[in-house]
Structure 1
C-alpha cells in the first residue's frame, strides 16, 4: 500500500504525477516510482512503456525524471509501504509484465505497467499458475501477479482484461494499469482500498488517485469510486462500471466539488509537523466544537437525512470499533459513556473483531473512529457488524468525504485539519471531543443529563482551548524530562480509570517516534507482574489527576519508589505530590474533571516528541509506519 496517482492528458503529465506523490509523501513510504507511455518532446506518439523507481524520497525521483527527460501524456505513479518484500528497487512500483518467458533483460518492451495498493491474499496460488504459463517474476511482491494476470487475459481491450482479472483476485486492492498498445488509456479498479477519479479542467484530462489530496490544486472535481467499481480513462471521456460489470450512469457516481489540502503546510516556527500539530490542538478543538450551543441529537445527523434522534432512542448499548490511537480514544469514551450516559459500552480492536464469534445485540449503536475514514481494518469491522444485523452506525471521523462517513448512517466530523505527522496528535484530541459530545447527547436522550449539568459541561468544553494553551506552556519542563528519556531503551506508563487509555496513548507515542520500548498498565496491575521490571534504569510515567482514584495511585507510586524506580508524574496542582529524589513532578495548570484526559495526553505527546528529537529519529516519518493504513 501507500499512494497512487495516474492520469491521461494532452500535456506532459510527469510533473503532475510526481507532485501528487509529494503530496502523499507525509503518509510514509519506503520506495516510489513512475511509469509512462514515453514520448519524444513535441510528439504525441508513444515510444513504449518506461519507468523509473527509487528507494529514496520523492525529491530523488523528481531528480531522476528530470535527468532522464522523462515525458508522457499518460502515466501512473506510486509510493510504496512494504507488505510483501523488503524495500528495494526491484519491489518498487510500477511493476511491468513483458509476457511469458520474458523480463527486463530480454530486450523487449514491457506490455503492462501497474501500480497497486492493498494485499492480494491468493497471490501465491496465482503466482504458481502464471509461472506454469511461463511468466517470469522478478520481485517478492504480491502486486506483480496482477500485472502478469492482466497480460495473460489481454485480447486487445485493457478494460476487459482488468475486468476479467479482478474476478480471480482475493483481497484488497486499488489499481491503475497501462498497456503498451493503448497509449492514451488508464484503467483502474478498487475493492477494499480507496480510489477516486478526478475530472480535469481540460476536457481531455482525467486522474486517478488514492486520495484527493494528491490531485488537489489540479482539480477539485472528484468522483468517489465505490466498492468493486471499474474506471476507464481516455482523453475526452471516462466511464465507470460497478462490481457486476454494468456501465454506470453519471448520476450513480456524481462529481463532487472537494476542497482538499493542496500544498505543503508551512512549518512556521516549528521544527517538525508533529510539534506544529501538537500546538494546533487548541484551535483544532475550538473548530471541532464551533457553533455548538446546546446538546442536541442533530449534531450527529447523517448526510443523507438520517436523523440521529431516531437512532439514539432505540439503542441501549454502544460498540466502538477502531485501531491504534483511535482505539485508545474509544477506550476513554467507554468510561464516559458508562459513567455519564449509563450506557454499556464495549470497545473492540477492529482487526480482531471481524475474526471472532461475537453475540450481536440488535439495539447496539456501532461507532467507528478513524482519522482518515479509510482505515481498512475498521471499514472491514464495520461491514462485519452490519452483516450481523447491527445497522445503527455512527462514525467519528476527520474526513467528511471518506468511505467511513459514506457507509455510516450518522456522523460527527472532527475539524482537526490535515495531520501531516504520522503519529496522531490533534486527530486524537478532537476525536475525544467528539466522543464526549456523543456521551452527553446519549445521556440527554436517556434522561440522565439535567439542564444544569448540560450547561456545566458546555462551559467546560468551551474552556478547553484556553486550558490546552496553559498545558502547552509546560513544554520547557517536558524538554528536561526528554533529555533523560532519550538515554533509555524502555519505559512504563501508568494510569487509572479514564486515564489508563491516556497512559496507553502516551506509551504508543513514545515507541512510534523515538523507538523506545514502552508499555502502559493500569497502575493497580503493577504488583501482578510489571513490578518485576522496575529498577533505577526504568522510567515510570504516571498520570495523576486529582480524582477518586488518586489515593490508590499514590500507593502504586510508593510501590515503584520502594523498588528504586524513578517516577515522572503529571500531577494536578492540588494532589500534594511533591518532587523528591527519584520523583519528578510536573504540575498541570488545573483539574478538569471528566475532560481531564484531553489535557493530560498533551504532555505525553510533547514528551514523545522531544525524546525523539533528542535521539535524532525521523519524527514526522517514523520507520516502518504509514499514516493511513489501507491494508489489513
Structure 2
C-alpha cells in the first residue's frame, strides 16, 4: 500500500528519491514526503496529494531541504514515502516521514501497528506530546525514548519493535548517524538494492531494478544497517545474520504506456499476449500434458485429496470462484473459495489431505498471507499463484509456485493479472485431472483445444473496443448498475461490478441472476441498468428468464453474449457481442467488454483510472 524508497551514496539525491517514488505510485497513495541528511541537518518535506505537489514545493522552496534541493554533494542519505492513509486522514501533518519531538529521528512506515493506542497512552503519560493521528508517530517517539535511555541505535530498534504488535516496514534516519539508513520489517515488504559505493532500499524490486542489478530481500524480524560502502544484517535480537544476494528481475520499462492513453487501457490490451505466453510455456499443444511437474504434487496425494480450498481477496477471489466450477467439473474434488479476510474468523477444517490454493497478484496481500499460514498450519499442502516471483507468497509456496507472468501491472485495477490467474487455474485443474485419470485423456483434448484457441478469441474481442465504447457511454450518466450471471459467469458479474465501482465510483452490485427476485429486484427502475452475462449453454435459458423479470421493471437492459444471438438482441436495449465460445471458456471473453465498460465510463467522467481514489495496488495491511 504505502511505498518506501531510500538511498545512500554520492549522487544527487532528490532526483533519485523522486524517481523511486514515481515508480511506487502504482501502489496507491494520498500523500508523499522525503527526509534527507546533509551531514549536519536532518530535514523533512511532505505534502498531501500527488507527487507533483511535492515536486512543486521542492522546485519553489530551494531552502526547504538542506538549502540546495539535495544537490549538495555532502548529502549522505535520504528516504522517501508515499502514504495510503490507515490512521488519520490524508493531510500534510499526517504524511510521512515523521519526526520525534526533538527532530533527531525521521521514520517512514508501511503497515499497521495494532497496539499503537496502548503504546501511545504510555508515551503520553511520560510527557511526550503527539502532533499527528498516525500510528507511525508512536514508533518514532518510542525509538527516541529508548535512545535517550543510553541504548545503542541497534539495541534501540530491537527494543522498539519488541513492543510493537502488527506489521511494519520501516526506514529510519538518525541525526547522529548521517551516513546510515536503518531498515526493519515484519509482514510488510522491504528490499535492499546493492550498488557500487551506493545502496538503496524500496518496497519492491521493480523500483530497485531501475538502479541496481543485485538485491537482498529483508525477511520478517530482520534489520538492515545501510551505508554507501556496505549493508549489514541483523535479527531483532541484535545478532548478525547472513543474507542471500539475488539478481533483480529486470522488468521492461513498466512506465511506458506504449501509445495508450492510460496504463489500464494498455493492460487490457495485453491480455491476449499474456494468455498466449502462458499456454505456449505450459500447454504447447492440445496433444501435450500440462507441464506443471515442478509443483511436485505426488499422485498419491492428489488421489486422496479430500477438498480444495482457494484463498484470495478482491479480483483474485473472483478468479477463484471461476476455478471452483472448473475444478469440480474436471476432478470431482469438493472445492471451496473463501475471502482470505473472512477465513481468519472461520474454524479451519483442513487436514494433510487438503490442497490450499493461495492467489495474490502482488504476493504480498496481508489477509491472504495470514489466511494461508493458518491453513497450512493444519497440515494442508499449499500451491501459490502470484504475478511476483520475489514475494512473500512465493516464499511460502516454495517449489509449489505458479507465476502468472503477466508483467508488472501498473494500474491499480487488475485486468491482465485476472486473466493470467484464471489461465493458470484452468491449467492446474487440467493437470490434476490428467494425474487422477478422473477424465479420460481423450475427453480432455477438446477442452485443451478450446483453451489453446482463447488467445485468438481474446484478440478478436479486444478489436471491438470502439464498438464497446460507443455502446456503454449511453449509460455513463447512471448512478447505479446491477450485473447478473449464473454458473461460471456469476463471478464475471461480481468482477464487472467491482471494476465499475473501482474506476468510476458508481455504485454497482453483482448477483447470481436467480437471486434477483429475492430482494435486489426492488431497486430496479429506469435509472438502474441491468447487465446480463448471458452466454449460450446450460445457464442461458435461466439467465434469459431472469433478464425478462428485470426488463418488466423498466430497467435498461444490457447483454453480454456471443455473435448471432438473435434471442438476446430481441429484448435487450444494448448488446455487447463477443466471438462464439463455449460456456466453460466464456469468462476469458465476457470479462473484456466489462473491463471496457468500466474504463470508458470512468474516463468519460474524468476519473483517475490508473490510480482511483482510496485504493492501493498492493494491500499489505489487514
Give the alignment's TM-score, normalised by structure 1. 0.93
Give 1:211's aligned residue: 204
For 1:231 and 1:314, how far apart are their aligned partners in 2? Answer: 45
Q: Residues 147 and 604 (structure 1 numbering): CA distance in 2 closer, same or farther, change over 3 Å?
A: same
Query: Runs of 4+ in structure 1 displaced over 6 angstroms?
Result: none
Q: Show structure 1 runs of 5+ residues with no match.
A: 40-45, 100-109
Per-residue CA distance 1:219-266 (angstroms, 9 max, x = gap): 0201111111111112322211234443212xxx21000123374532
The reply on whether 1:396 has 2:396 as its aligned counterpart is no
1:313 CA drift (Å): 4.4
Q: Which residue of 1 aligns with 2:34?
A: 34
**Residues 310 and 29 of structure 1: CA distance in aligned 2, closer, same or farther (over 3 Å):** farther
1:173-322 alignment to 2 at 5 Å?
Answer: 173-200=168-195, 202=196, 204-249=197-242, 253-261=243-251, 263=253, 265-291=255-281, 292-293=283-284, 296=289, 298-299=291-292, 301-302=294-295, 306=296, 311-322=301-312
Deviations 1:461-511 (A, max 9, x none): 221111001111222232133222210100100000010001000000001
Q: State the alpha-carbon separation in 1 of the partners of residues 32 and 443 from structure 2.
A: 54
**Correspondence for 2:84:** 81
- In structure 2, the partner of 1:628 is 618
In the superposition, relative to structure 1, how do residues 300 and 560 fare at CA in structure 2: closer, same or farther (>3 Å)?
farther
1:515/1:508 Cα in 2 relative to 1: closer, same or farther (>3 Å)? same
Does the aligned pair in 1 maintain the 2:224–2:233 contact within 8 Å? yes
Asked if 1:560 is matched to 2:550, the reply is: yes
Distance 2:224 2:512 in 1: 50
- Please, what is the CA RMSD of the aligned residues? 1.8
Are the structure 2 counterparts of residues 309 and 205 from structure 1 closer, same or farther at C-alpha, using a change threshold of 3 Å? farther
**Following TM superposition, by how much is the alpha carbon of 1:61 offset from its aligned partner in structure 2, in angstroms?**
2.1
SS of equivalent to 1:223: strand
| Equivalent pair of 1:196/1:223 in contact (CA under 8 Å) | yes
C-alpha distance in 1 between matches for 2:107 and 2:620 = 18
> Counterpart in 1 of 2:342?
352
What secondary structure sits across from 2:586 in the alignment?
helix
Q: Which residue of 2 aligns with 1:70?
A: 69
Whether 1:111 and 2:104 are equivalent positions in the alignment is yes
CA displacement, residues 16-66 of structure 1 (integer Å, 9 cap, x when unaligned): 1111001011221000000011x3xxxxxx122101111232233234334
- Aligned partners of 1:297, 1:126: CA distance in 2, in Å? 53
**What SS does the corresponding residue of 1:546 show, helix, strand or coil?**
coil
Q: Confirm or deny: 8 A CA contact 2:154 2:238 kept in the other structure.
A: no
Cα distance, 1:132 vs. partner? 1.6
Distance in 2 (CA, whole Å) between partners of 1:153 and 1:147 is 10
The counterpart of 1:405, out of the listed 388, 394, 400, is: 394
Q: 1:125 aligns with which of 103, 118, 128?
A: 118
Select 1:91's aligned residue among 94, 109, 117: 94
CA distance in 1 between counterparts of 2:186 and 2:565 reads: 53
2:155 paired with 1:164:
no
After superposition, residues 555-594 of structure 1 pair within 5 angstroms as 555-573=545-563, 575-580=565-570, 583-594=573-584
Are the aligned partners of 2:3 and 2:203 in contact in 1 as well (CA < 8 Å)?
yes
Displacement after TM superposition at 1:586 (Å): 2.5
- Secondary structure of 2:602's counterpart equals helix
Compare 257-266 and 343-352 and name the one that shifted more. 257-266
Partners of 1:326 and 1:372 in 2: CA distance: 10
| Structure 1 range deviating more: 254-263 or 58-67 | 58-67
Using a 3 Å threshold, how does the CA distance of structure 1 residues 265 and 592 change in structure 2: closer, same or farther? farther
User: Corresponding residue for 1:13?
Assistant: 13
Partners of 1:279 and 1:236 lie apart in 2 by 44
Q: What is the match of residue 107 of structure 1?
A: none
- Residues 509-548 of structure 1 mapped to structure 2, 5 A cutoff: 509-548=499-538
SS in 1 for 2:22: helix
CA distance change for structure 1 residues 85 and 613 in 2, over 3 Å: closer, same or farther? same
Please list the CA deviations of residues 309-349 of structure 1 after superposition, one character each: whole Å capped at 9, or x if unmatched.
56534533210000000000001100111111111100110
Using structure 2 for the length normalisation, give the TM-score: 0.94
2:536, 2:582 within 8 Å by CA — same for their partners in 1?
no
Is 1:433–2:428 an aligned residue pair? no
CA contact (8 A) 1:543 1:570 kept: yes
- Distance in 2 between the 1:582 and 1:592 partners? 21
Q: Distance in 1 between matches of 2:233 and 2:289?
A: 40
Q: Which moved more, 1:270-279 or 1:237-246?
A: 237-246
Measure the CA separation in 2 of the matches of 1:162 and 1:285. 46
**Residue aligning to 2:65:** none
1:564-617 residue CA offsets vs partner (Å, 9 max, x unmatched): 122100112354324357532222211234111111111100010011111111
Aligned to 1:103: none
Name the count of aligned residue pairs.
606
